[in-house]
Chain A
Amino acid sequence: GEDVEQSLFLSVREGDSSVINCTYTDSSSTYLYWYKQEPGAGLQLLTYIFSNMDMKQDQRLTVLLNKKDKHLSLRIADTQTGDSAIYFCAGYSGGYQKVTFGTGTKLQVIP
C-alpha cells in the first residue's frame, strides 16, 4: 500500500508564505489531495492535483507536484492566523478504492 510522509510541525509569521511538504511512495497515485483540519473538526478538502499536472493554483494556495521524486507541496501565500490548523496530504491510487493520508503537519501562524 501507499505510505505518505509529512513533517510534523511548521511555524510561520503572519503575512509570510508557508510551504508544507509531503512525500509518497506509490507512483501510481492518480490524485493527490490537501486537507485542512481545525481542532475538534473533520477534514476540509482544500485542493487536489491530478498526477499529470505539475502545478495548480487556487487563490492563495499553490500545489506543486514532482512526480519523479514523488514529492508534493502546498504553498499558502500571505498566511493568516485563520490558517493555523493541521494539514494532511493524501493520495489515491485508483485500484485500492481508498485514500491514504499522511500524519499531518501542524501549521502555527504567529501574529
Chain B
Amino acid sequence: DTGVSQNPRHKITKRGQNVTFRCDPISEHNRLYWYRQTLGQGPEFLTYFQNEAQLEKSRLLSDRFSAERPKGSFSTLEIQRTEQGDSAMYLCASSPLTGMGETQYFGPGTRLLVL
C-alpha cells in the first residue's frame, strides 16, 4: 500500500455542474476525513467517517455537499451545483483506529477550479 490516493488530481468545471471526487485510504485504516484547503490557509475539516458511518460533519459542509463511504473502504465527496467559492484543494486523510491519537495521513488532494 503506497498511501492515500485521490482522483482526479485536478478538476475544472463550470458553475452549476456537479463534481465527484474519490479517496482511497490506506487499506487498514478505519477512519477517513475530508478537508478543504483554500489558498494561504490550513486545511479545514469537512467530515469524518469511522468505517462506513459518517460521525461528524462541519457546518462548512452545506447541503450541496455529500460524502459517502459505502463499504468502509473508499469514499466519495460530491458537490452539487458548484459555485465559484467551491474552488479549493480537497484533501482526504485516513488514520488507524489505534487509540494513539489522530495521526492522519493525507492524500495528494484534488484541486477544483469552478469557472
Contact = CB atoms under 8 A, between A and B. Distances in A.
Interface stretch (B12-20, B69-77, B96-104): B96-104
A103 B41 contact: yes
The winner among A30, A31, A40, A99 for most chain B CB atoms within 10 A is A99
A24 interface: no
B43 A97 contact: no
A43 B102 contact: no
Contact of A42 (B33, B40, B101, B106): B106
Nearest to A103: B42
Given A41-B109, A42-B91, A99 B40 contact: no
Interface stretch (A10-18, A44-52, A68-76): A44-52
Interface string A1-40: 0001000000000000000000000000011010100001
Interface residues of A, number: 26
Contact of A30 (B101, B106, B108, B109): B101
Contacts of A48: 101, 103
B65 interface: no
B21 interface: no
B102 A98 contact: yes
23 contacts: A31-B101, A41-B108, A41-B109, A42-B6, A42-B91, A42-B106, A42-B107, A42-B108, A43-B91, A43-B106, A45-B103, A45-B105, A48-B101, A48-B103, A88-B42, A90-B42, A92-B101, A98-B45, A99-B45, A99-B102, A99-B104, A103-B42, A104-B42
